[in-house]
Amino acid sequence: MSRAQAIAQASAYFDQGHFMAALQKRVAMRTESQEAASRPILYRYLHQEIAPELERMGFTFDIIDNPLPGGAPFLLAERLEAGAAFTLLTYGHGDVVRGYDQQWREGLNPWEIVVEGERWYGRGSADNKGQHTINFAALAQVMQLRGGKLGYNVKVILEMGEETGSPGLKQIVAQHAQRLQSDVFIASDGPRIDASTPTMFLGSRGGCNFDLRVNARAGGHHSGNWGGLLRNPGVRLANAIACLIDGKGRILVPSLLPASLPASVRNALRDVKVGGGPDDPPVDAHWGEPGMTPAERVFGWNTLEVLAFKTGNPEAPVNAIPGHAWAHCQIRFVVGSDEQNFIANLRAHLDAHAYADVEVTLSGVQFSATRLNPDDEWVRWGLASMQKTSAKTPTLLPNLGGSLPNDVFSEVLGLPTLWLPHSYPACSQHAPNEHILASVSREALQIMAGLFWDLAEQGAQVLARRSASHESSHRS
């Protein structure tokens, strides 16, 4: 019984085709949470795929209806050991975005694993079926090798509505907070920094989507008869956007920015390189906040993006001054931003620049920004475990550039959160031709087996050191 044996068993799980077999069954289930007709399939995924695997590992579970109308279900499970020193909480989601079946390349099917060299194609292979399949399998190998004794409890929450913004997740977690009470959170979603580099991130940037509108008049008017006499909504809106963000992507509204870039975050990002992969777009060196590295701009700072812009009839333009203009925009933001007042601050800035005719409204689901301190004891432990297994120096990202419902775990439950992603940036997540890489999946199984083993051997000491450190900081 050894750590090396646990990693070898995780490798064999991949090499003998067990991972492929499990993932194939899961990808075949059309768990499209954005489609109302898929609701029965969301329940079947939990009943037929997740619950049996967890039961074999000694978990008890409940499948719980969403408290919100039309919301997707949740699975809550726990495996409790007598005398356990601490408790681990893990998470995943079994829903996927729409398959877009007709848009996949010839020879591919979103609901079937198709192997082409290193690439395993299939909807959900990267987001998130492949990732939680890896974690459950690695945990099972460690448990088997240790005779069913981990020395810690494990709790699971798996949702089926993440791709629709996780409706009801916060309510479920708050309602079952005592049941979910734990000491550390470890889960997997999103991409590594690149395919070859094991990666850990500690939270996520928040997301605030909003609409800008100029409604000048009911309809269009002939540009020859009225040009130069009527306000053009497209021109007004374009200039309003230009007073929010300049031509090089720099945000011009101070109240939309974080207070600072903390030294711990800057240090963590010092050697992080963004992009450079064969399928990555080239980074625009002079775009965004000046004086920052690309890693600092995407992981440590705020961005404002125009995601869609429409005025007139773009598909069939006519010689008329349009009556309306609309833009859908987004702020990605980090911890330390005044996220509760983004809309009010936008309104005040537009008013101050004489754009009172531009309406500002929130649009869609909003995510909060979260970030565990990169100097946390759990972070140091996790990075050391990853390096020992992979013989590579892992990359630490203070937070993901995108958004996840991490605030539910870090704020509602108050947990330190470690995310170990098992995908890579060019996986076509959310797009046609989604895929994972075989080499990354095999290495991820090894890393997670090593991590769960080290948790059994070292977790109690890490928790004790962390508690002592927090007590010392409170006294000082």
Confidence class for position 205, pLDDT limits 50, 70, 90: very high
Of 80, 78, 74, the C-alpha closest to 175 is 74
Of 400, 425, 442, the C-alpha closest to 194 is 425
- Residue 279, pLDDT score: 79
| List of residues 6+ apart from 312 with CB closer than 8 A | 220, 234, 318, 320, 322
* Highest mean pLDDT pick, 91-95, 266-270, 402-406: 91-95
pTM of the model: 0.91
* Residue corresponding to tokens 């006499």: 229
Confidence class for position 474, pLDDT limits 50, 70, 90: low
- Residue 475, pLDDT score: 61
Tokens of residue 46, six digits: 């939990």
Confidence class for position 95, pLDDT limits 50, 70, 90: very high
Average pLDDT over every residue of 134-144: 98
- Residue 469, pLDDT score: 81
Write the pLDDT tens digit of every residue in 276-323. 888 788 999 899 999 999 999 999 999 999 999 999 999 999 999 999
Write the pLDDT tens digit of every residue in 410-435. 999 999 999 999 999 999 999 999 99
* Distance from C-alpha of 300 to C-alpha of 279, rounded to nearest angstrom: 24
Average pLDDT over every residue of 15-40: 97
Average pLDDT over every residue of 135-160: 97
Indicate whether 472 pLDDT > 70. Answer: no
- Residue 476, pLDDT score: 58
Amino acid 371 reads R
Find out whether 211 and 326 touch, Cβ atoms under 8 Å: yes
DSSP 8-state code for residue 435: E
Write the pLDDT tens digit of every residue in 331-379. 999 999 999 999 999 999 999 999 999 999 999 878 899 999 999 999 9
Average pLDDT over every residue of 367-394: 96
Write the pLDDT tens digit of every residue in 39-51. 999 999 999 999 9
* H, E, C per residue of 202-256: CEECEEEEEEEEEECCCCCEEHHHHCCCCCCHHHHHHHHHHCCECCCCCECCHHH
- Residue 366, pLDDT score: 86
Domains of the chain: 3-204+369-474 (3.40.630.10), 208-269+285-362 (3.30.70.360)
